[in-house]
């Protein structure tokens, strides 16, 4: 049993040493960093002749980019680091245009090695008229729905794993990243189309989940390791795996081979890219299937039974260990799918899952820790809240808002929306 | 490979400013986790409010740095109250999630553009600790012996930092032997039993959270003063994870555990870092397997691996007592 844990860790280390994605070369590559973007007016028409001034945070000017006839601009940067870009108010005044949000005439942003950083300076009615706000709210709502569904998919496993084993899995974000990376390798390195590559990613995520349970968590449970120790181990595992990803994959974000830039289509008052519609539909279908499977199939019923009360489930003839293995495989697969869909909109990076982890926790706690449906509802609410909150607060603070909700909900209703009121302290 | 230089660097790292910072952070965690059983994963948040307490007080409010220390301490107490209020009645794992979230909220808030005027945004603030160096009694020159030679500025920082570690360690020693400390330990062992003896468990936990948090903010002070700068991304969750490794390595619920743990931890990190760097530079490790940039990433892998191995094989660390750390939440 000791040997098995060691074997898992040795495998992890071995994997980290295998030369994978040409990570070594790309870091020193340099010279590829740039900022780019397109300036369009409120009606979506490109605007020519707007200056964007880019400087380092110390105030040293890097250069000025001017938009071309198609409204686009690009400026090479000397290297990765922190930069500040300001849209030139004078050139805007000449064209009688204004920023939709005058507070965001200056943007500060980090640029990773090799990154071509897109910048957004939305123009249009700066007087936030009622109809404008309404349309924007609708647009954000749709984005929120998409994001919420993705969080929900990732979080179902997190909640079920907690319910069945009591483990608060701080390494769950790494399952999300793993799925997205596996799909990226199949898609870009092996040349598979994105759709079969997603299937590969999901299978890999499910296998990884099952392997983690069989190789690490089950032996630890058998030893009777305490839940707090397990929690800390999951933090260590997350850190180890996250940096193996960075080591192998490098620090830059990478897109999938297909569906990178899609022209958004108008759908009534809102605009949306077709891939986002597909993402929403796929998420809805998968989550509905998950709901039905949990409700109707024998395996699903067994999962809920074990999550409800492991001892009782065991004494009514359910093979608890088998169910837990199933939960890990199932949770890993769903997390991988969530990661792939997230990578479709936000590209793939080594810490995409970790950045999602706290939002997953927020969703799971909001819905009720340990329940499957609670995780769905809670995560959905978090996603929608996160996006729509940018109506009133600056987008860089939207995560702060979501995490504050997490703390507030614990104050008012610690068992969550769908959780049963029980003593948790 | 220059083994002499590598060993020298490792020995210097063991008494360096980082070792002192993490010793303090881990002593705070020891009060939380080791003695009271509170699973605080947001220790870096206390460090951040301490460090920014000084920096903002000096650069924005124009106060003296010594007043800034009081601002930082006050901020850490307020943070403890804010964190404890919703979570201390709940199970340990909830506290873990909320504290890690709170630390992230603090980091994101400090780096936000809208607060740039006060906190300097993502580039942070610098040069606010001149007053500390002005009272340096040491005259210009180098001090120390053998490999431990530091400039007068460094020596002044290190002396004050390690004196703080010593004073705080003695405080923890005395407090944990007092009736107050025994109540904390009884809460760790069995909350219900402590409650049934008429102790206000909630209030004791709150005091423990504030006390450990204050020690955490001292760690933030040392870090901010020794580097004369604060930057939001220095205070990421990884710092808390490092502090946990330090604590568990040395041994939880032992007064000297975090101190020795921190010295060994930084010695080992410096050793592996320098050996790998030299091996890469001299071509013992082919560039296809590891580049110079990747050496820094190995550090985090080792910390993660260390955390797993410690908890699986030796959860009492070097000095700990296995019976004192068998915590459970259910």
Q: Secondary structure of A348-374 in the HEC alphabet?
A: ECCCHHHHHHHHHHHHHHHHCCCCHHH
Residue B64 lies in a domain: yes
Separation of alpha carbons B76 and B88, rounded Å: 17
Q: Which residue of chain A has the CA closest to B99?
A: A407
Strands A34-38 and A116-118: parallel
Shortest distance, CA A270 to any CA of chain B (angstroms) = 29
Whole-number pLDDT of residue A129: 45
Closest CA to A321 of A410, A187, A213: A213
Helices (H), A273-371: 274-296, 298-308, 310-315, 320-346, 352-367
Give the CATH number of domain A135-412; options: 1.10.3470, 3.10.310, 2.60.40, 2.50.20: 1.10.3470
* B interface test, pick of A106, A170, A239, A240 with most B CB neighbours within 10 Å: A239
Q: For B304, which of A17, A237, A410 is closest by C-beta distance?
A: A237
Instruction: Give the pLDDT of residue A44.
Output: 67
Every domain range in chain A assigned CATH 1.10.3470 = 135-412
- Residues 6 or more apart in contact with residue A277 via CB below 8 angstroms: none
From chain B, the residues in CB contact with A110 under 8 A are 122
Question: Domain range spanning residue B196?
Answer: 3-325
Which chain A residue shows the shortest CA-CA distance from B202? Answer: A425
- Cα of A235 vs its chain's centroid, Å: 18
When divided into structural domains, chain B yields a total of 1
Q: What is the pLDDT of residue A198?
A: 96
Choose among A291, A303, A305, A282: nearest CA to A377: A291
Q: What token pair was written down for A251?
A: 């620090």
**Given an 8 Å threshold on Cβ–Cβ distance, is B297 in contact with A17?**
no
Chain B residue with minimum CA distance to A244: B301
User: pLDDT tens-digit profile of B119-166?
Assistant: 988 889 999 999 999 999 999 989 988 889 999 999 999 999 999 999
CB B209 within 8 A of CB B41: no
Please indicate whether, in this complex, the C-beta atoms of B108 and A166 are within 8 angstroms of each other: no
Structure tokens, B311: 């908890």
With H, G, I as helix, E, B as strand and everything else as coil, classify residue A278.
helix
Query: Mean pLDDT throughout B272-294?
Result: 86
| Global confidence as pTM | 0.82
- Looking at beta carbons, which residues of chain A come within 8 Å of B293? 24, 27-28
Q: A231 and B309 in contact by Cβ < 8 A?
A: no
ipTM value, please give it.
0.89
- CB contact (8 A) between residue A235 and residue B307: yes
Which chain B residues are closer than 8 Å to A355 by Cβ? none
Which CATH number is B196's domain given?
1.10.3470
**Which residue of B lies nearest to A19 if distances are taken between CA atoms?**
B289
Say how far apart CA B162 and CA B160 lie, in whole Å: 6
Return averaged pLDDT per consecutive 10 residues of chain A, 425 residues in all: 65 61 42 77 74 74 77 80 78 73 74 79 59 82 93 92 90 96 95 95 97 95 88 94 93 86 79 90 94 91 88 91 95 96 91 92 85 86 91 84 84 75 51
Query: How high is the pLDDT of residue A420?
Result: 65
How many whole angstroms separate alpha carbon B309 and alpha carbon B280? 26
Do the Cβ atoms of B128 and B65 come closer than 8 Å?
yes
As a whole number, the mean pLDDT across chain B is: 91
Inter-chain residue contact A396 with B112, CB threshold 8 Å:
yes
* Dihedral (Cα; A328, A329, A332, A337), 10-degree rounding: -150
Contact between B38 and B205 (Cβ < 8 Å): yes
Closest by CA to A51, choosing from A36, A70, A41, A66, is A66
Distance from CA of A176 to the nearest CA of B (A): 18
Structure tokens at A159: 């909640």
Predicted pLDDT of residue A77: 83
Instruction: Quickly tell me which residue has 């553009």 as its tokens.
Output: B113
CB contact under 8 A, B122 and A108: yes
The hierarchical CATH code for the domain A37-127 is 2.60.40.1120
Per residue in B215-234, pLDDT (tens digit) is: 999 999 999 999 999 999 99
State whether B104 and A358 contact (CB < 8 Å). Answer: yes
The confidence score (pLDDT) of residue A28 equals 40
Write down the pLDDT at residue A24. 37
Burial bucket for residue A54 (CB in 10 Å: 0-12, 13-18, 19+): buried
Residues 6+ positions from A81 with CB-CB distance below 8 Å: A56, A110, A111
Distances (CA, A) of A235 to A322, A412, B52: 25, 28, 27
Minimal Cα–Cα distance from A403 to chain B, Å? Answer: 6
> What Rg, from alpha-carbon coordinates, does chain B have?
20
Task: Please give the Cα distance from B68 to B57 (Å, whole number).
Answer: 5
Q: How many CB pairs under 8 A join A and B?
A: 169
Contact A240 B308 (CB under 8 A): yes
pLDDT of residue A212: 96
CB-based contact B293 A28, cutoff 8 Å: yes
Name, in order, each residue with C-beta under 8 angstroms of A301's C-beta and a sequence gap of 6 or more: A294, A295
Instruction: List C-alpha distances in Å: B309 to A413, B313, B314, B316.
Output: 37, 6, 7, 12
B250 min Cα distance to partner chain A (Å)? 16
A5/B97 Cβ within 8 A: no
Q: Which residues of B touch A406 (CB under 8 A)?
A: 97-98, 101
Shortest Cα–Cα distance, B149 to chain A (Å):
34
C-alpha to C-alpha distance for A269 and A273, rounded to whole angstroms: 14
């Amino acid at each position: 049993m000791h040997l098995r844990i060691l074997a898992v860790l040795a495998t992890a280390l071995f994997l980290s040493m295998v030369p994978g994605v040409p990570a070594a070369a790309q870091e020193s590559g340099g010279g590829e960093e740039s900022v780019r973007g397109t300036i369009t007016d409120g009606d979506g028409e490109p605007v020519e002749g707007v200056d964007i001034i880019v400087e380092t945070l110390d105030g040293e000017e890097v250069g000025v980019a001017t938009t071309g006839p198609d409204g686009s601009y690009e400026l090479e940067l000397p290297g990765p680091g922190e930069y500040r870009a300001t849209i030139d108010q004078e050139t805007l005044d000449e064209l009688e245009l204004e920023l939709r949000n005058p507070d965001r005439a200056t943007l500060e942003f980090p640029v990773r090695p090799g990154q071509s950083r897109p910048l957004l300076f939305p123009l249009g009615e700066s007087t936030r008229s009622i109809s404008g706000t309404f349309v924007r709210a609708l647009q954000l709502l749709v984005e929120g729905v998409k994001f919420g569904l993705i969080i929900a998919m990732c979080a179902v496993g997190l909640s079920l794993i907690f319910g069945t084993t009591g483990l608060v899995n701080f390494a769950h974000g790494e399952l999300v990243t793993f799925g997205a990376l596996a799909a990226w390798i199949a898609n870009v390195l092996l040349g598979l189309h994105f759709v079969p590559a997603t299937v590969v990613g999901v299978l890999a995520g499910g296998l990884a989940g099952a392997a983690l349970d069989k190789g690490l968590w089950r032996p630890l449970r058998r030893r009777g390791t305490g839940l707090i120790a397990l929690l800390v181990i999951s933090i260590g595992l997350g850190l180890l795996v996250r940096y193996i990803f960075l080591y192998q994959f490098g620090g830059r974000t990478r897109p999938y081979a297909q569906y990178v830039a899609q022209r958004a289509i108008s759908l009534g008052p809102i605009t949306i890219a077709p891939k986002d519609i597909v993402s929403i539909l796929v998420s809805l279908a998968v989550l509905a299937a998950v709901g039905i499977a949990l409700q109707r199939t024998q395996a699903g019923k067994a999962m809920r039974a074990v999550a409800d009360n492991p001892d009782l489930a065991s004494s009514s003839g359910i093979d608890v260990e088998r169910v837990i293995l199933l939960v890990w495989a199932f949770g890993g697969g769903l997390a991988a799918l969530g990661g792939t869909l997230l990578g479709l909109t936000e590209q793939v990076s080594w810490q995409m899952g970790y950045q999602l982890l706290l939002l997953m926790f927020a969703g799971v706690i909001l819905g009720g820790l340990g329940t499957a449906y609670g995780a769905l509802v809670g995560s959905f609410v978090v996603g929608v809240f996160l996006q729509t909150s940018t109506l009133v607060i600056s987008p860089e603070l939207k995560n702060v808002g979501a995490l504050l909700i997490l703390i507030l909900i614990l104050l008012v209703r610690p068992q969550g929306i769908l959780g049963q009121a029980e003593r948790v302290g | 490979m220059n083994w002499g230089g590598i060993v020298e660097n490792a020995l210097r790292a063991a008494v360096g400013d980082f070792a002192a910072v993490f010793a303090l952070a881990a002593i705070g965690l020891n009060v939380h986790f080791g003695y009271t059983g509170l699973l605080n994963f947001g220790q870096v948040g206390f460090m951040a409010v301490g460090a920014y307490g000084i920096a903002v007080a000096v650069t924005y409010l124009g106060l003296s740095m010594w007043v800034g220390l009081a601002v930082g301490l006050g901020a850490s107490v307020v943070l403890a109250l804010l964190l404890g209020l919703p979570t201390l009645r709940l199970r340990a794992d909830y506290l873990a999630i909320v504290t890690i979230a709170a630390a992230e909220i603090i980091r994101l808030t400090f780096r936000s553009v809208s607060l740039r005027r006060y906190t300097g945004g993502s580039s942070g603030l610098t040069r606010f600790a001149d007053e500390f160096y002005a009272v340096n009694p040491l005259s210009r020159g180098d001090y120390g012996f053998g490999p431990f030679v530091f400039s007068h500025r460094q020596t002044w920082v290190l002396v004050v930092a390690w004196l703080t570690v010593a004073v705080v360690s003695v405080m923890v020693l005395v407090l944990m032997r007092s009736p107050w400390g025994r109540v904390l330990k009884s809460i760790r062992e069995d909350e219900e039993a402590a409650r049934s003896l008429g102790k206000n468990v909630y209030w004791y936990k709150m005091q423990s959270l504030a006390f450990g948090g204050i020690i955490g903010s001292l760690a933030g002070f040392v870090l901010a003063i020794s580097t004369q700068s604060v930057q939001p991304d220095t205070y990421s969750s990884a710092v808390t994870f490092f502090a946990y490794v330090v604590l568990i390595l040395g041994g939880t619920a032992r007064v000297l555990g975090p101190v020795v743990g921190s010295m060994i931890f930084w010695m080992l990190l410096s050793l592996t870092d320098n050996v790998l760097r030299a091996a890469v530079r001299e071509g013992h490790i082919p560039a296809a397997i590891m580049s110079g940039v990747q050496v820094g990433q190995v550090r985090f892998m080792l910390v993660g691996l260390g955390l797993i191995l410690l908890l699986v094989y030796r959860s009492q660390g070097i000095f700990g007592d296995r019976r004192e750390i068998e915590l459970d939440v259910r």
